[in-house]
Structure 1
Amino acid sequence: MSRFTIKPINVATPMPTQNPFLFAVYHKDVYPAGNAKMEAPRVGNGNDWNANQPYRMYHGRKVPGFPQHPHRGFETITCTLEGTIDHTDSLGGSGRYGNGDLQWMTAGSGILHGENMPLLNEKGDNPVRWFQLWLNLPAKNKMVEPNQLMHWNENITRFNTPDGKANVTVLAGTLHGKTALPPIRDSWAKDPANDVNVWHMLIKPGGKITLPKSAEGSTRSIFLVEGSGLVIDQEKIPELSVVEFKGQRVAPEVQLSNTGTEKDLEILVLQGKPIDEPVVQHGPFVMNTQEEIAKAFSDYRRTQFGGWPWDQDAVIFPREKGRFLAVKGKPEEYPPSAIKKDEL
């Protein structure tokens, strides 16, 4: 009898998740060359999720992405693979990140933010790939002060298996003795006892990697987002699938093998102990009761979570601007490569 269940997934639409994760999506778009304003050649309709197209505008009109929108009661983890994202928020924070950078953002008591994708290349395609995860917050932290944290690509924990046939990026937690950079301060992931792990893997043909058993009570989901030929427990996993371990005391040790002959497998693993509290979600708000959801909407209508301090709903920065993070009251941050370049 199989120790797991298999479900289909689709690019650009939400994938099934297990507590403590609320939401996971894999964005994969090949945008054409941008114009002088870093805009796409077609205008979006404000709600473009067509998986049959080479790219989507999402909620953007001229620049693809997600103009200002609210959140309360959880945190986002944005894991970039390719391309550029410009961030702005109602706290006056801003940033440009991508190509392997990782952003943690605690919505807490409420924040407006925008994530827009400037098409920097005027002469060729602008491929963009990234995951966004929503990780729940326990009741005691749902109304904490909003906050964000950037982990630059250059600092993120990565390792190869001894044969060089698998590469792992440890975005949260620990795998095979390699530990991720610290999560944001109010996160459920902050306490190692909660066993929150986020691993991104590339497995070459003929490669394999073993996942150790989880902590007691943890859930585990394995998303196959690219490639075919994945075998787990001698069972072949279809392309674009999620494998869920649940209903067990411990997610067991398993080996992931690429039995294909041509393409790398690309895999995302989410693991963690559930937050043993009621979950009530309505759109961008995640609380513990229906009354708290009603209050979230009331607070948003009344305060706009501090208001939007930017002159546009979909803000992008100048083409020549490099990666950066600006948080109100703190010095602007830059990745190590930019700092070294400035020192030369």
Structure 2
Amino acid sequence: MQHPLIYSVVPVTFRLDLKDPFIFCAHHLDHFPAGNAQLGPQTPPQNKEYNMYYGNVVPGFPEHPHTGFETITLVEQGVVDHFDSLGNAGRYAAGDVQWLTTGNGVEHCEMFPLVHEDQANPMELFQIWFNSSPEQKQQPADYKMLWREQIPHVIEANAAGQKADIRVISGQFKETDALPRPPHSWAAPAENKVNIYLITLAPEAEVTIPATSASSTRFCYFYQGKSLELEGQQMDVKHLAELKPDVEIHLKGGLLESRILWLEGEPIGAPVAMRGPFVLNSEDELNAAFKRYRDTHFGEWPWPSPAPVFERKQPRFATYQGGEHKEYPEQL
């Protein structure tokens, strides 16, 4: 695709390779069957049938460590049970976003209970690995829930009435601000211009994304639909475009509903040393972090197993401050 505003377009099967301040983004999609009494699948999995199945019974990712970066988990379908070494826990689901700053170290698990016994349990989410500044890597771990009822939407319609729905996960879209991010996030200060949107275009709907700074990184991932017109160029589904940041970008949907993940932000500009789930600034820092994890496990794991889940009927909620504070979406 030759276009002065489109730097590159690449196909995506699972992982979106991004640039500073983003590390990468995984687009997970598993078509889990109906659940059994233990919240696992009624039909046992065959070989490596699913991408997100590391538990013995319930799908998901049992207890594992992180340090030095942030995970931003945007759920499109399904249910997630979260537990961590800070003593926090919660359940969130389709439309919710969890923003975790791993700071100087945390263990957590992300399990996907199959809560429906009489129908399939599809699980779809984006998990963005987002870098932290050197100073933020030294801060205590923290997290925040962005509940679907509270996430701002901007609705725009063209002359024919076709609507664009922009969910503002981070930053700002025109005059609409996102919910606050965790305080030790690179995305928290407005000057870092970390804008994350989930965009849904009705058939043939249009939207224009405002320009950001010339130094920002900018990506558009077209993940559902038939076709997308990007600055007058046709873009196929499951493709990632890197774009010029300091200009407006015009999008127009095809004959089917189109869904887009939009990512942009100022780079941190620090060296990156990454080994598995640890992201620091040098090999010496990585070695020290792995030693600290072997010695401390980033705190005691306070839960009865490496892969706990809540009961089937548990509503969405989150705890903070080691479980001292609890919130439910309807109480916000």
TM over 0.5, shorter chain: yes
Offset at 1:212? 1.1
Q: Distance in 1 between matches of 2:313 and 2:237?
A: 38
For the 8 Å contact 2:81–2:111, the answer to whether it is kept is yes
The amino acid across from 1:64 in the alignment is P
Contact 1:173 1:195 in 2 (8 A): yes
Report if the CA contact (8 A) 2:28-2:51 is conserved. Answer: no
Counterpart check, 1:26 vs 2:27: yes
Task: Assess if the C-alpha contact under 8 Å between 1:165 and 1:204 holds in 2.
Answer: yes
**1:177-235 CA deviation, whole Å, 9 max, x = no partner?**
11110111100011111110100011121111001111231010000111121011221
1:321 aligns with 2:317: no
The separation in 2 between residues aligned to 1:179 and 1:44, in whole angstroms, is: 45
Of residues 315, 319, 333, the one that matches 2:327 is: 333
Which of 41, 44, 52 pairs up with 1:42?
44
Cα deviation, residue 295, structure 1: 0.8
Contact 2:162 2:204 in 1 (8 A): no
Look up the SS of the partner of 1:306 in the other structure: coil
Counterparts of 1:19 and 1:255, CA distance in 2: 24
CA contact (8 A) 1:76 1:132 kept: yes
Q: What does residue range 74-113 of structure 1 map to in structure 2 within 5 Å? A: 74-113=69-108
Question: Any gaps of 5 or more consecutive residues in structure 2?
Answer: none
Query: Is 1:235 matched up with 2:233?
Result: yes
- Superposition deviation, residue 44 in structure 1: 7.5
User: Normalising by the residue count of structure 2, what TM-score does the alignment of the two structures yield?
Assistant: 0.94
CA shift, 1:251, in A, is 3.6
Shift of 1:329: 5.4
Question: In the alignment, which of 259, 273, 278 is matched to residue 280 of structure 1?
Answer: 273
Whether contact under 8 Å (1:103, 1:149) holds in the other structure is yes
Matched with 1:150 is 145
Q: How does 1:125-136 map to 2 (within 5 A)?
A: 125-136=120-131
Q: Is the 8 A contact 1:220 1:251 kept in 2?
A: no
TM-superposition CA deviations, 1:281-308 (whole Å, max 9, x none): 1100000001001111111111111132
Count of residues paired in the alignment: 324
* Superposition deviation, residue 269 in structure 1: 0.3
The aligned residue for residue 249 of structure 2 is 254
**Once the 2 structures are TM-superposed, how far is the Cα of residue 310 of structure 1 from its aligned partner?**
1.3
Q: Percent identity?
A: 37
Q: 2 CA distance for matches of 1:42 and 1:19?
A: 40
> In 1, Cα distance between the equivalents of 2:240 and 2:221?
4
Aligned to 2:211: 213
The answer to whether 1:140 aligns with 2:138 is: no
In 2, distance between residues paired with 1:145 and 1:57?
Answer: 28
SS in 2 for 1:295: helix
* 1:8 and 2:1 are equivalent in the alignment: no
Residue identity opposite 1:9 in structure 2: V
Instruction: State the one-letter code of the partner of 2:329.
Output: P
Q: TM-score, normalised by structure 1?
A: 0.90
Deviation at 1:320, TM superposition (A): 1.4
Q: Taking structure 1 as reference, are residues 332 and 226 closer, same or farther at Cα in structure 2, changes over 3 Å only?
A: same
Give the AA of the match of 1:193. E
Instruction: Verify: 1:167 aligned to 2:165, yes or no.
Output: yes
Secondary structure of the structure 1 residue equivalent to 2:326: coil
CA separation of 1:323/1:121 partners in 2, compared to 1, >3 Å: closer, same or farther? same
The residue type paired with residue 318 of structure 2 is L
Secondary structure class of the residue paired with 1:185: coil
| 1:305-327 deviation per Cα after TM superposition (whole angstroms, max 9, x unaligned) | 11322121111101111111112
Q: Which residue identity lines up with residue 25 of structure 2 in the other structure?
A: A
Q: Work out the CA distance in 2 between the residues paired with 1:39 and 1:329.
A: 26
Question: Alignment partner for residue 296 of structure 2, among 303, 318, 326?
Answer: 303
Secondary structure, in 3 states, of the residue corresponding to 2:61? strand
Higher strand share: 2
